[in-house]
Each structure stands twice: as C-alpha cells, then as structure tokens.
Amino acid sequence: MSARLRFAVSCAVVFLVLGALVLAGVWLVVRSNLEYRTDLLMPTCTQEGFCRNDPLYEVARRQAMRVRAAYQRDTLKAVRDVGALVVVAGAAGAFGLGWRTAGWVLRPLRRMTETARQVAQSHDLTERIAYEGPREEVKELADTFDTMLGRLARSFDAQRKFVANASHELRTPLTINRTLVDVAVRRPDATDDVKRLGESLLLVNARHERLIDGLLALAEGEQAVLDRRPFDLTDVAEHVLDQAAAEAAEREVTIHRLLDPAPTTGEAVLVERLVQNLLENAIRHNHPKGEVWVSTRRRAERVELVVANTGLPVPAYEIETIFEPFRRLHGDRLRSDRGSGLGLSIVKVIAEAHGGTVTGWPREEGGLTITVELPVDPAA
C-alpha cells in the first residue's frame, strides 16, 4: 500500500470513527429527550378536572404513551439511518480529500523518486533534484539527497582515476621486469641455473600480471554499465571459443558448443571477459581428455549462458565460496597457470552490473556447471 493510499485511508477511518462517536452521542441525547416522563403523563389531577384514577384519563394516558413510543422509535431510527449515511458519505469525502492532499504533499517526494530512478537507470550522477520551496522537511531531505549525489559523483570519479593510474603504475614495472628477465635468459652466456631461475621469475611475473589484470577487471566490473547496447551473446561466445581453441587443444580438452540466439544489452567487452573467464576456468580446472560444454539460449525474458566441464569432484558446500575473490578449490594456491582466484569473482560482478545472476552446482561425474542469466534485449 502506497503512502498516499495509507494517508487517504487514515483520513477516512478517522472521520468514520469520529462520525460514529458523534452519531452515537446524538442518538443518546435524542433518546433521552424522548423518554417517558411521569410528571407530564401522571399528574394527580389536571386543570380540566380529570384525576389519576379516572377511566377516561387512563385511556388518554395509554394512548399518549403509545404515540410517544412510536414517535421515539421512528425518530431514533431516522437519526440512526440518516446519520449513518452522512457518516459514510463524509468518510468517502474525507478519503477523496485525503487522497488529493496527500498527492499535493507528496509531490516533492515523487520528484525525488523520479530523479533517483533516473540516476539509477542512467548512472548519471550529475542529476540533481534542486527542489525550490520553503525551508521545511521535504526541502531538507531533497538537499541532503543532492549532497549525497555530489559525494557519490566525486567518489566514483576518484575511483575511476585510481583504476586508470593503477593500471599504468602496476603494469609498467612488471613489463620492465619481464623484458629484463627475458633478455637475461636469452643471453648466449646464460647458464642453465640462470635460465631456470629466469623461467621461474617469468612464471611468477606472469602470475602477478594476471592478478593485476584480474583486480582491475574486478574494479571495472563493479562499475555501473553506462552504455547499454544490443548484442547477441552467441556472437560473443563464438568469438571467445575460437580464441580458446588453441589452449583447449594444448591441454587435450574437447569443447562442445550448442549456441542458439540470445539477444541482450550491455557492454559487449565486459561480457566477453565474463565468457572468457568461464571458459578458461573450465579448461584449466579440467583433466587431460576432459570435456567442456558451452551453450547459449533465450528463456522468456532472460538469456542464458551455460558452461559445464569435467574435472575433480567439487563439494556442494564450496559452491558459494568459489565466487569470492582469491578463493580456489582443492587448496590450489601456487599453480600460477590456473589463475589468481579472481575469475569467477569477475564473472559475478560483471553479471550483476548487467542486472543478471550467476549460479553454479557440481556435476555428479566431477567438475562444475556455471549458469549466467542476463536480461533479454527488449527490442528483440
């Protein structure tokens, strides 16, 4: 029930209760005034010479009492019926008046709600309510909301600048390290120990590069999707599958694809990273001669991407934890070729940024099945 409807109903209920109390009071007063009065109907003698025990007087008194009783009954019934109609009509009027009054009072709040909805949908933090009116509660709330939007805008700008600077500052030294180690390993006079050390350093460096890329992707994925453009999830999946074919062949993993049209909207680059992480996870956390199944389809108002793979058995109680950053299954924390533990976390934040969901469950034969659902393109 909306606040406007609650206010109107409250007005109607208050009027109904007060009207019922007033009607009951009027009914009691009228009833009291029409009660039998012995000083009028039972005098000792009248001025005309009729006395209490006179037969003619008793006939007249009983007739007067019947008239009084009928008049009292009809009058009280009229007071009750007419009063009830007036109270009900007044309650309806109070409901209508309360509805219009609430609409007038809540008009600034509706404007605030509309502005907040526009900010949530467009992610444009430059929008402001800019309410102009007397200095009262609604204006204070609107000004507080504008102040909050300003702080959020500054915070997001600072975060975007930090991500851009971190991307440069963190990648540059790793790139230099990789180049220096690669040059040292390729020198003609490099000993076998130096080459082995260089290869180990290159593996560690590659792991750090993937870790930084994953952290940056995680930060970017948590940002709101600003530019929602239509695209087909099937096209993205086909592109990622073609890129992953070489790694799958190297690891002796067979990929099966069943790609049906799945139109959606969002940032295709981020969704490509989502599909890439899922496919890399399915290939690298597999065993030789293993298999991977990738499918896309549309289901009612959602599109669905399903990636399943063979591999080691996964306990059901660990399914929720694998979507947390730096969580790995089977205690695998040192294998740099299997990632940094951010892949599924990035999948989750990208899906949520697009208004979607990610679910997973273990396969009985071993491995995982991950399902990503995204909103369908309304124009499709």
- pLDDT score recorded for residue 300: 84
Please provide the size of the chain in residues. 380
Alpha helices in 186-255 (DSSP H): 192-221, 233-250
Task: Reply yes or no on whether the pLDDT at 226 is more than 80.
Answer: no
**Both structure tokens of 290:** 């293993």
Asked if 43 and 61 touch (Cβ cutoff 8 Å), the reply is no
Nearest-Å Rg of the Cα atoms of the chain is 41
| Least confident piece of the model among 7-11, 136-140, 290-294, 366-370 | 136-140
Asked if 171 and 212 touch (Cβ cutoff 8 Å), the reply is yes
pLDDT tier, 333 (very low <50, low <70, confident <90, very high otherwise): very low
Residue predicted with more confidence, 221 or 146: 146
Rounded to an integer, what distance in angstroms lies between the CA atom of residue 8 and that of residue 361?
49
Asked if 371 and 298 touch (Cβ cutoff 8 Å), the reply is no
Asked if 237 and 275 touch (Cβ cutoff 8 Å), the reply is yes
Q: pLDDT averaged over the chain? A: 81
Q: pLDDT tens, 55-107?
A: 666 777 777 778 878 888 888 898 889 999 999 999 999 999 988 988 888 88
Q: Which of 2, 1, 7 is nearest to 105 (CA)?
A: 7
Q: Which of 275, 265, 264, 254 is nearest to 346 (CA)?
A: 275
- pLDDT score recorded for residue 89: 93
Rounded to an integer, what distance in angstroms lies between the CA atom of residue 32 and that of residue 79?
13
Residue predicted with more confidence, 81 or 327: 81
- pLDDT score recorded for residue 173: 83
pLDDT tier, 237 (very low <50, low <70, confident <90, very high otherwise): very high
pTM (predicted TM-score) = 0.53
- With residues binned 3-state (H G I as helix, E B as strand, rest as coil), the percentages for the chain, rounded to 5, are 65, 15, 25
Element (DSSP H or E) covering residue 256: strand 254-259
Residue 144 has a CB neighbour count (10 Å cut-off) of: 11
Q: Which of 342, 261, 326, 321 is nearest to 295 (CA)?
A: 261
Q: pLDDT tens, 268-277?
A: 888 888 998 8
Asked if 313 and 362 touch (Cβ cutoff 8 Å), the reply is yes
To the nearest whole percent, how much of the chain has pLDDT over 70?
82
With a CB cutoff of 8 Å and minimum separation 6, the contacts of 117 are none
pLDDT tier, 51 (very low <50, low <70, confident <90, very high otherwise): low
Residue predicted with more confidence, 108 or 176: 176
pLDDT tier, 334 (very low <50, low <70, confident <90, very high otherwise): very low
What is the average pLDDT across 338-348? 72
* Burial annotation 63-93 (CB, 10 A radius, 16+ → b, else e): eeeeebeeebeeeeeebeeebeeebeeebee
- pLDDT score recorded for residue 41: 54
pLDDT tier, 248 (very low <50, low <70, confident <90, very high otherwise): very high
- pLDDT score recorded for residue 39: 60
Residue found by looking up tokens 């299954």 in the block: 329
Asked if 375 and 264 touch (Cβ cutoff 8 Å), the reply is yes
Rounded to an integer, what distance in angstroms lies between the CA atom of residue 175 and that of residue 197?
18
Element (DSSP H or E) covering residue 278: helix 268-284
- pLDDT score recorded for residue 249: 92
What is the average pLDDT across 213-233? 67
| Least confident piece of the model among 18-27, 121-130, 193-202, 316-325 | 121-130
- pLDDT score recorded for residue 328: 59
Contacts 24+ apart (CB under 8 A), 30-33: 30/75, 30/76, 30/79, 31/72, 31/76
pLDDT tier, 252 (very low <50, low <70, confident <90, very high otherwise): very high
Q: Which of 322, 325, 327 is nearest to 215 (CA)?
A: 325
Highest mean pLDDT among 62-71, 133-142, 155-164, 250-259: 250-259
What is the average pLDDT across 192-212? 79
Residue predicted with more confidence, 211 or 112: 112
Q: pLDDT tens, 289-310?
A: 999 999 999 988 899 999 999 9
What is the average pLDDT across 254-272? 90
- pLDDT score recorded for residue 357: 92
What is the average pLDDT across 173-202? 84
Sheet order of strands, 357-362 included: 254-259, 291-299, 302-309, 368-375, 357-362
Task: Reply yes or no on whether the pLDDT at 339 is more than 60.
Answer: no
- pLDDT score recorded for residue 335: 46
